[in-house]
Amino acid sequence: MESIMKQYNTRAIMTSLLICGFLGMFSETALNIAISNLMDVFQISAATAQWLTTGFLLTLGILMPMTGLLLQWFTTRQLFIGSLASSIIGTLIAALAFNFEMLMVARILQATGMGLLIPLMFNTILVVYPPEKRGAAMGFVGLVIMFAPAIGPTVAGLLIEYLTWHYIFWLPLPFLVIGLLVGLKYLENVTDVTKPRIDLLSVALSTIGFGGVVFGFSKAGEGEGGWTNAVVLTSIIIGLAALVLFTLRQKFMRDPMMNLGVFKYPMYIVGLLTVLSCMIIILSSMIILPMYLQNGMKLSAFAAGLMLLPGSALNGILSPRMGHLFDKYGPKWLVIPGFVVVAVMLWFFSNISPASSVAFIVILHIGLMVGISMVWMPAQTNGMNQLPPELYPHGTAVMNTLQQVAGAIGTAIAISILTSGMEKYLHDSPAPTKQTEMANAMTVGSQNVFMFAMIVTLIGLAIAFFIRRVVVNHAAMNPKH
């Protein structure tokens, strides 16, 4: 109980974590707009260029499962410094990159920094804020997690238009250094370092399992043989087999690397499934929309980024507001209407064409992002609130890991649905090389992706009917309870 009542300088702690989280998330999506540009600069195919996103997700997928363990092995400050050192070095290498391989190494270092920082951010909030204020605090994390990726494409589009893609990395570099300095001054150690035994077999199984699944799905999205590709099938099967063994091993260990006891809490499961459906919806639609705007509607990178700005900015701005509403009214009145809004927007998206007006697409995107902001943080906070404090690091690790896996799956399915839709259309087209036909093919492929995202939304909506508010009583705060 004492640890809960301890007073922290929450404002300073949050400031340093949010600055760094913001910049990490910014560089994760800013590069999406630059992909077409980088394919020309480095003379690489779309499949190769996709590795800049896939490699990032793969690194997160391998690192995230270990964060529960790392949070118990290292102090908050040590993890924060390690995370920022990796982000700063990665960003510097990316800014100086003169070939694809160099940029790829930089992305892996950036992902390592992010993989440490995000769980650290969630865990710190759970420790330093009392349950009745967590919704608002998580809302600010939502602001960062949504707003940074939102302005990423717009700022990147502007930088590509007037400078070069290198500035996507030069820009955040000084702010990362400032974030590090603020953290060094104010960040306190908020977790207990218990140094549980590290089970190397668990680490290996988790790496092969999560890594295999993320790699397999990412490879499937590249289009070479798609889902029937031997490499894809092998890595997914090996990955799933390793995950089964990993799960069994965790079940019988006294100090599991990832405590699956979190699945005994029904609201945690509902929150987790809701967040995973959001992740698939966001990533499948967010990777396709910029591509559609640039290739289907022939807009510049900057114009495409600008169109996505209002919705994403609003999503970020509304996140803390949704957090306050959640603290006040609970999750049900936000999550269910949120999913309904998302489903309606995606239905309209599945009917867009090159003739659709810019204003129409901007409005749909705003609706989509507002709906997501109503679902994501309330469902996640409600789920985490049901866990006892000793399971916070594990609950965070499970949720963040599975989000990365869902992200990779969502991206892969979206790319493969887009590709197969385009190929089918061009195969039946009398003039498949004509610009207008290419744009039409892009439209058909994109419509199919939005239809897929809508189906995921309806599944999420069905799950949301089971959500109910978790009342955190202080008896539940006692691990012996």
Domain ranges of the chain: 2-464
pLDDT for position 93:
95
Instruction: Please give the pLDDT value at position 416.
Output: 80
> What per-residue confidence (pLDDT) applies to 294?
78
CA distance 80 to 74: 10
Side-chain half-sphere of 470: how many Cα atoms within 13 Å?
26
Helical axes 51-63 vs 200-220, angle rounded to 10°: 160
What's the pLDDT score for residue 7?
65
CATH number of the structural domain 2-464: 1.20.1250.20
**Res 478: pLDDT:** 41
Position 8 scores a pLDDT of 67
Lookup: tokens for 108: 């892996």
- Which residues, given as ranges, of the chain have pLDDT below 50? 1-5, 474-481
- pLDDT, tens digit, 9 for 90 and up, residues 410-442: 877 888 888 888 888 888 878 777 878 888 888
User: Do 152 and 30 contact (CB within 8 A), yes or no?
Assistant: yes
The contacts of residue 305 (CB under 8 Å, 6+ apart) are: 33, 153, 154, 155, 156, 157, 158, 290
380-396 core/surface letters (b: 16 or more CB in 10 A; e: else)? bbbbbbbbbeebbbbbb
Whether the CB-CB separation of 136 and 323 falls below 8 Å is answered with: yes
Q: Which residue has the tokens 């204003």?
A: 359
Contact of 88 with 80, CB cutoff 8 Å: no
pTM: 0.79
- The count of other CB atoms within 10 Å of the CB of residue 197 is 10
Q: What is the dihedral of CA 310, 314, 315, 318, to 10 degrees?
A: 180
To the nearest 10°, the Cα dihedral for 396, 397, 399, 402?
170
